[in-house]
Amino acid sequence: MSFTGKYQLQSHENFETFMKALGLPDEQIQKGKDIKSISEIVQDGKKFKITVTTGSKVLHNEFTVGEECEMEMLTGEKVKAIVQLEGDNRLVANLKGLKSVTELNGDTITNTMTMGDLTYKRISKRI
């Protein structure tokens, strides 16, 4: 199953609490909470390029499944991570105490981020 495509945010749960815990400033949280971000994914075998555009903020990460890479977090901090593919539709990464699980089901991508006992979930549809 290929992740390649453009996806628009449909809904998210626990955004403000999670972003505060990450250390994002209140002003940035307020700006970002109502923006329908666009995620563009290009998959070439085990190589991925992911670009998430939220208003004027663009987050760009590239990685190869199973290999260490540098990823930019929502705060702008760069951290080392290894992304694993579970089955053919689930990407799992651990980034400095934050676990990210991205699951593709048909035209819907569900991204769940967990940090301690806090969980943030975003659901995006292919456009």
Q: What is the pLDDT of residues 88-97, one digit of tens each?
A: 999 999 988 8
Where do the domains of the chain lie?
5-126
Q: What pLDDT score does 109 carry?
A: 97
Give the 3-state secondary structure of residue 112.
Answer: strand
CATH fold of 5-126 reads Lipocalin (2.40.128)
| Helices (runs of H) and strands (runs of E) counted in the chain | 2, 10
Q: What is the pLDDT of residues 61-82, one digit of tens each?
A: 999 999 999 999 888 889 999 9
Which residues, including other chains, have CB under 8 Å from residue 51's CB and lie 6 or more apart? 39, 40, 58, 59, 60
Q: What pLDDT score does 33 carry?
A: 84
Q: Which residues of the chain have pLDDT under 70?
A: 1
Question: DSSP letter string over 52-74?
Answer: EEETTEEEEEEEETTSEEEEE-T
For residue 1, the 8-state DSSP code is: -
pTM of the model: 0.91
Tally the residues of the chain: 127
For the record, the structure tokens of 50 come out as: 């992911």
Q: What pLDDT score does 18 carry?
A: 94
Query: How far is residue 104's CA from residue 97's CA, in Å, rounded to a whole number?
Result: 23
